[in-house]
Structure 1
């Protein structure tokens, strides 16, 4: 055992002890920055987990905050394959900083694998109450436009989320996927007069993009219709211009 190990200077325990410095919002920033650098020089997964905690705080000035978070991104990325497990765990369990976790994983894994992890996380979160909806929205935006047969079934339950922003993100993701089981839930959203107008408009856009007909809901869809959309003779939502 080396003298630094004896003093707790380089092992996993040392990494965990640095967490308080990494998440210290006030005081001399050099102390926090030194801790980040020390963690980046360690070579075990516990150091990655502590580095990621820096994403849970915001410091002033914002330029310093951004610089430090970018530095953490580079430090974690340098761990290579050893970073994948702790970053994946962070993505699953942490409510904030989802975009940073996805960005790191994109730097370490093929896009299809990151999409799979995003879908797994969406499935796990489905139906859970969350005070902050940022994580759900970021994940929904991430899978939008991507091709994976598991995306649509994972996104569909989010049409019933209480948050309008989550509904909007789910509608945007579902439209181009043309997922038949989504047709009636989208129509129900559109027909619900208590739903925010912007959500109804997004539902019209999703129906237009998916090419689904409005059978069984024509009258209610006509009541909810707004420019630039209109309903044609075949019961399909069209867009002017």
Structure 2
């Protein structure tokens, strides 16, 4: 630490980290939080991006102030350019909230292929580690839905066994368009399990239709579960009644 650091509160990275309590301060004078955000935006250290990202993990009143601050924080992080990518990727992997902001930032700074790669890695990490909050899983699954990338379906299938119905439904929607044969068995097991909620079963039927899968091996269990507009065709595939 140099002489200047003694009077300014430490080196640049250290100063950035010391501002985190102010950035995540929900109560008190908002000017304190806003000043800290602006100071971080003027630094050029990865640690500044990491601290700025923490602003997305809290919500303050009034909501108009919250929205304005988050948009300002977004623009400040974006101004770091490619230097902001590693901290954002780390945030996406480790934070249980604000995944939508991280993905939005990556969308501005990376190619779509790179963003999908980040989603795939984050989903793989989530599948192997317990998390109470389903929000991040749902956000990531929604982001990869309708994206035709072969890296996606293998990391989505495990979420058909998630404890949260919203996660299962998001996984089914993401898988439907892929016609990914290894997902067929998992979809049918989910559809026919006694504990599966009705809305999840409806989503499973829709995914089976979209994937063009047959119910071979499960016909007797599937038939009683069919609801309008779903029917079983002669070839064993679930179809929507015309």
* 1:210 equivalent in structure 2: 211
Structure 2 Cα separation of the partners of residues 154 and 74 of structure 1: 31
* 2:46 equivalent in structure 1: 45
Q: What's the offset of the Cα at 1:234?
A: 1.2
Q: What's the offset of the Cα at 1:220?
A: 1.2
Q: What's the offset of the Cα at 1:138?
A: 0.6
Distance 1:165 1:86, change over 3 A: same
Aligned residues: 241
What do residues 144-173 of structure 1 show as CA deviations (whole Å, max 9, x unaligned)? Answer: 111211100000111111111111011000
The DSSP-based 3-state class of the residue aligned with 1:212 is coil
Q: TM-score when scaled to structure 2? A: 0.96
Q: What's the offset of the Cα at 1:104?
A: 0.4
The DSSP-based 3-state class of the residue aligned with 2:102 is helix
* 1:131 equivalent in structure 2: 132
Structure 2 Cα separation of the partners of residues 227 and 157 of structure 1: 28
Structure 1 Cα separation of the partners of residues 71 and 214 of structure 2: 47
The DSSP-based 3-state class of the residue aligned with 2:177 is helix
The DSSP-based 3-state class of the residue aligned with 1:238 is strand
Structure 1 Cα separation of the partners of residues 7 and 108 of structure 2: 35
Task: Give the alignment of 1:1-241 within 5 angstroms.
Answer: 3=4, 6-8=7-9, 11-241=12-242
Structure 2 Cα separation of the partners of residues 91 and 187 of structure 1: 31
Q: What's the offset of the Cα at 1:192?
A: 1.3
The DSSP-based 3-state class of the residue aligned with 2:136 is helix
Q: What's the offset of the Cα at 1:194?
A: 1.6
Mapped contact 1:22–1:51 kept (Cα < 8 A): yes
Distance 1:2 1:82, change over 3 A: farther
Q: What's the offset of the Cα at 1:2?
A: 7.2
Structure 1 Cα separation of the partners of residues 169 and 233 of structure 2: 24
- Which structure 1 residue ranges, 5 or more long, are not aligned? none
Q: What RMSD, in angstroms, separates the aligned Cα atoms of the two structures?
A: 1.4
Mapped contact 1:156–1:182 kept (Cα < 8 A): yes
Q: Which runs of 4+ in 1 moved over 3 A?
A: 1-6
Q: What's the offset of the Cα at 1:75?
A: 0.4
Q: TM-score when scaled to structure 1? A: 0.96
The DSSP-based 3-state class of the residue aligned with 2:239 is strand
